[in-house]
Structure 1
Amino acid sequence: MSAAVPPLTLEAIRSVPKVLLHDHLDGGLRPATVVELAAATGYDALPTTDADELGRWFREAADSGSLESYLETFAHTCGVMQTEEALVRVAAECAEDLAADGVVYAEVRYAPELFAERGLSLDAVVEAVQAGFAEGERRAAQQGKNIRMGTLLCAMRQHARAQEIAEVAVRYRDAGVVGFDIAGPEAGFPPTRNLDAFEYLRTNNAHFTIHAGEAFGLASIWEAIQHCGAERLGHGVRIVDDIKTGPDGSVELGRLAAYVRDRRIPLEICPSSNVQTGAAASISDHPIGLLKRLRFRVTVNTDNRLMSGCTVSSEFAALAEAFGYGWADLQWFTINAMKSAFIDFDQRLDLIDNVIKPGYAHLV
């Protein structure tokens, strides 16, 4: 007689392999680390130096319903990440925290230009973060948790450094930088402002994703895919605006939604973050339910673990409660993410066949 399948408790979900594609380094600091780094680097603008209170402040400040207000919280995390020592520490703790949550592969992104305000070069920023990720992988392995970290370098869409950041991403492609992204406010800053950078990446066979379809609608998704050539969509949740659901439950996909689904373009969906920024009213109302039912290439992500007070496991738990998902659904999300990663095909297949599927074998 086979053993009973355990319920989807948060603790049980932490124990299975997970894959994370959309997580911001400067959105995942430990509150205590923010306080200690502020003291060490002379940053004096924190709203409080009590770690517990600070953690609450970040979550409440991010809970505004506005992407612009949400983004303002990053002034404090970026403010304490202006030295090589701080970057190494934050990156190492990031890898450790993700591994402790059962993440076996993560692509963590950040904008190097945001950490260069005190004189660090872009290369120095990248090398410090890579050193931190390597240290975090080593510490996690010592605790019996294996994680592989990949890096995505972001350009800020409101600035004019996308070409420069794209060149850094290509320069460090063999040192753990697996791709490129543009981030920041969508409204008024379309991805087509950075066409030169995307053309450069394509001609160098480099991978990139684009934040699109979060605060802004279908136009940003269409531009990201058809003009810029994005391989994945950061968020992409507004693709639901191109899907009509009839009163009888029938569904009709518009041409853009059909294209995204047919081409298996991955959606890097971040449920709790979408609720905070007003892209969804609640987890139970989140379009991920419909998108999964229609078999879009949906992946589940954290976006900013500090601001949302979340982990991959807690996102899975919230979705399971809202939509009745079981272990097979969690495995489906995880394999989707691994298939969509920016590392080599052989490496993706190895993690799917030798880590992820065995990790769910007794559950599905």
Structure 2
Amino acid sequence: MKVIVIGAGLGGLALASGLLRAGIDVAVHERDPSPHVRRQGYRLHLSDMGIDALTSVMAPERRAAFLATAHTPSPRFVRFDHTLAGVEVLEHSGLHLSIDRQTLRESLLPEVAETITYGTRLTGFQVVADRVTARFDDGTTVTGDVLVGADGINSAVRGQYLPHARIVGTGLVQLYGKIPVELAEGMDNVFTAITGPGHRVVGVAPTRDYATCSFGARAEDLPAGLNLMTQDQLRSLVMDLTHGWHPLVRRMISQWYDVFPLELRTSVPIPPWQTTRVTLLGDAAHAMSPAAGAGANLALRDAAALTQALTQALAPVLARGGPLIPALRSYEQEMIDSGFAAVRMSAANGARLLGQDPLPSS
């Protein structure tokens, strides 16, 4: 069996790692020219779901080395108002870790590096009988038994395969950056939200070496051209928008660094589709705003579940070719149900805490 994976983000890398460990041939194609050209965020939250997924797809020694870099916060979500008066505390069960996104990518990359072709953008694919052929913008093609779209919220695979699937704006923009970890003293939680007037929110979450700090607001309350602003201009903008907030919050913003803006978008849930030799995982299937803290965990869970489904089907596929579609159907049923449930939860949390637009019904 050969599996073609489009996208070398966390989900694609985790899938490739799991498939290689299971003895399945895999070819990963990534449109970026290298794994270091785009800022995609900093700190990530891993729950039991994500940790269990990594356990199943990573070599034990590499997983142990990665987990040794993690930080264990207090297992709770805490919300303050802009004066730092307590508003809400939600306790979480299970294990929760704060990890650095780039560290996780660098932990997954070595085992799968030789399977990745960078700088190849998918232009289309074709399914003929029991084979799938992917075409790329450099004129090359690759043929395999399964094609997996792990290519994120702007998925080219989803665009051809499920053209009716919609991605919509949430009405929100977030600016992501870092602050010195000592400024987050007293906020060592899974996530701390500081909510102010006008649906403006500062989010804080420490890792071992820094604390991630985000500022979110309604898009109409922010000027155009955020991506063209300097770091000083972004800091100055948010200082103006948090005028009158607690001095600690102001101190955080004054020492903000590596800041970049991102429009928050979400998938609109759709009914299950007919299973074929093309499938999706992670944000390519069920992108969501970060209000549920579930995106990375779901992408890793999808990768582990798809690895298991393909591994279980491997021997019969080599003999007869029959059980592959049922295996993929089983994977998709769970992926669609749990993924879109998380999309709805994220939208509800986002509406309550951040002023996110309601999720369209269709």
Tell me which interval the TM-score lies in, with the shorter structure as reference length: under 0.3
Q: Answer 1 or 2: which has greater strand percent.
A: 2
Structure in which a larger fraction of residues adopt helix:
1
- Superposition TM-score, scaled by structure 2 size: 0.26
- TM-score, scaled relative to structure 1: 0.26
